[in-house]
Amino acid sequence: MDLQGKHIVLGLTGGIACYKAAEFCRALVKEGATVQVVMTEGALQFITPVTMQALSNRIVYTSQWDARAPNAMAHINLSREADAIVIAPCSADFMARLAQGRADELLSLLCLARPMERVPLLIAPAMNREMWAHPATRRNVAQLQADGCTVLDVGVGEQACGETGDGRMLEPQELLADVVAFFQPKLLAGQHVLVSAGPTYEAIDPVRGITNLSSGKMGFAIARAASEAGAQVTLVAGPVSLPTPRGVKRVDVRSASNMLAACMDRADTASIFIATAAVADWRPKQASDQKIKKDGSGQPPALEFVENPDILATLAQSPRARSGALYCVGFAAESHDLLANSSAKRLKKGVPLLVGNIGPATFGQDENALLLVDAHGTRELARNTKRALARQLIAEIASRMVHKE
């Protein structure tokens, strides 16, 4: 429950994207937030207060003259209670109102009255592509950002008017990810994090290959956590079926050689490399270009193997890593003797931090337990969700970056 204890004022303005606000509100509540909905007159043309009240479990405010406010100051009460005000959808007209400091209805009034130093304002624009591209809207976006407002991205695709392009509101789960990320401490601001994740696949023939049980979930969680922490993140992913985390640039690869090339191409601009991928140690020396058939002898075909390149060791021994410009973190997926094997692997790879886990207990699971091994000793991160562990690991890495350990 990433938003446990947070109180969100959710503002709705006029636009067809109000239908997404219902699911967004429900998602906020499921993540632990309390949600107070405030609707403009325009929003009432697209969705009813009854719907939003049912989803938020709170009465919905629509007017600055609402007599339910005991002191007749709903704009003060609502803004002072909030941890953040999120306007989704935010129409072009309402963006102009905010940029001008207008305050002639409840939602813009409470935005203007909010204590800016402790109640952030996030807006999710929603409009036609021409409206989004118009110079007036671009000026308003720039003014809102200059005033300290966080303007979220817009989606690209088909719009209710029948046109296609930029300007539609983000999907509810994208909005949720952005709100959750907003509240995370920006421990890696200014850093470029390169993450490898998932298994590799080494072809035997066009239909068979060698791989492992890694799902990539831990690496994807780390990429998300790094992005939440303010870093620019590149994720080099083996063959997995996972959605790309918000704000992360993804590069899909297949084999260990592919992964090495992709990591080497991007290591020159990275400041942190986190090698979570479960890379195959060996590959067939020569993959057949046709499916290998049974010959009736009852014997399997003779396969000759060669060792794959060591991606972590290669990057850890690079000039940038040796100079301290690239901080390398390794992962060890072991089946037994976790401490001994992880400690030995850290020394062998030449990395400052090695993260060990028991592979059979974590592959494909949503939870994990980690053992951090460095030159000073070990630290256990108790079993938890991979998302929670990823955030803990990112905090550990950020601390080491500050102290250059």
Tell me: the pLDDT tens digits for 218-242? 999 999 999 999 999 999 999 999 9
Pick the closest to residue 276 from 322, 323, 226 (CA basis).
226
Mean pLDDT of 140-166: 95
In a domain, 293, yes or no: yes
Range of the domain at 330: 192-403
Closest CA to 304 of 177, 191, 168, 202: 202
- pTM as predicted: 0.92
- Structure confidence at residue 364 as a pLDDT band (50, 70, 90): confident
| Per-residue pLDDT at 296 | 86
What CATH number did the domain enclosing 340 receive? 3.40.50.10300
Same domain, yes or no, for 58 and 134? yes
Output the six-digit token pair for 67.
Answer: 């007599």
Considering the domain architecture, whether residues 358 and 268 belong to the same structural domain is answered as: yes
Res. 271 pLDDT band, cuts 50 70 90: very high
3-state secondary structure of 233: strand
Residue 268: pLDDT above 90? yes
Task: Please check whether residues 204 and 164 belong to one and the same domain.
Answer: no
Calpha distance 174→155 (Å, rounded): 10
Q: Is residue 76 part of a domain?
A: yes
pLDDT digits (tens, 9 = 90+) for 311-335: 999 999 999 999 999 999 999 988 8
Give me the mean pLDDT over the 253-272 stretch: 97
Examine residue 2 and state whether it is found in any structural domain, yes or no.
no
Q: pLDDT band for position 201 (50/70/90)?
A: very high
**CA 136-138-141 angle, 5° bins:** 110
Let me know whether 161 and 275 are in one domain.
no
Residue at a domain's end among 183, 208, 224? 183
Query: Which tokens is 161 given?
Result: 């008017």
Q: Is 367 a domain residue?
A: yes
Q: Which residues of 5-14 are buried (b: 16+ CB within 10 A; e: fewer)?
A: ebebbbbbbb
- Split into its structural domains, the chain has a count of 2
Residue 403's pLDDT band (boundaries 50, 70, 90)? low
The 3-state DSSP class for residue 61 equals strand
Neighbours of 396 (CB within 10 A): 19
Sign of the CA dihedral running 64, 70, 72, 74: negative
Question: Residue 388 has what pLDDT?
Answer: 96
> Catalytic residues, which ones?
161
Same domain, 140 and 224: no
Residues 176 and 27 in one domain: yes
Residue 1 inside a domain? The answer is no
Q: Quick check: is 168 in a domain?
A: yes
Residue type at 337?
Answer: D
Q: How many CA atoms lie within 13 A of 142 on its CB side?
A: 7
Helix (H, G, I), strand (E, B) or coil at 284: strand
The residues pairing with 84 across neighbouring beta strands, listed in sequence order, are: 8
Question: Residue 404: its pLDDT value, please?
Answer: 60
Tell me the average pLDDT across 109-113.
96
Q: How far apart, in whole angstroms, are the C-alpha atoms of residue 165 and residue 182?
A: 26
Helix intervals (H) in 187-337: 217-228, 256-267, 311-316, 319-323
Q: Are residues 68 and 37 in the same domain?
A: yes
Instruction: Determine, yes or no, domain membership for 285.
Output: yes
pLDDT at 298: 86
**Domain co-membership, 257 together with 311:** yes
The answer on 175 and 219 residing in a single domain is no
Is a pLDDT exceeding 90 seen at residue 40?
yes
Run of H or E including 399: helix 386-403
Asked which of 183, 204, 226 is the last residue of a domain, the reply is: 183
Residue 63 clears pLDDT 60, i.e. is over it:
yes
Say which CATH number the domain at 128 has: 3.40.50.1950
Residue 170 and residue 53 share a domain: yes
Query: Which among 136, 162, 183 is the end of a domain?
Result: 183
249 and 154 share one domain: no
95 and 220 in a single domain? The answer is no
Q: What is the average pLDDT value for the chain, to the nearest integer? A: 95
Cα separation, 215 vs 364, in Å, equals 5
Is residue 33 very low, low, confident or very high in pLDDT (cuts 50, 70, 90)? very high
Q: Pick from 211, 259, 255, 203: which is nearest to 235 by CA?
A: 259
What pLDDT was estimated at residue 65? 87
First to last CA, the chain: 32
Residue 405, pLDDT > 80, answer no
Q: Is the pLDDT of residue 125 over 90?
A: yes
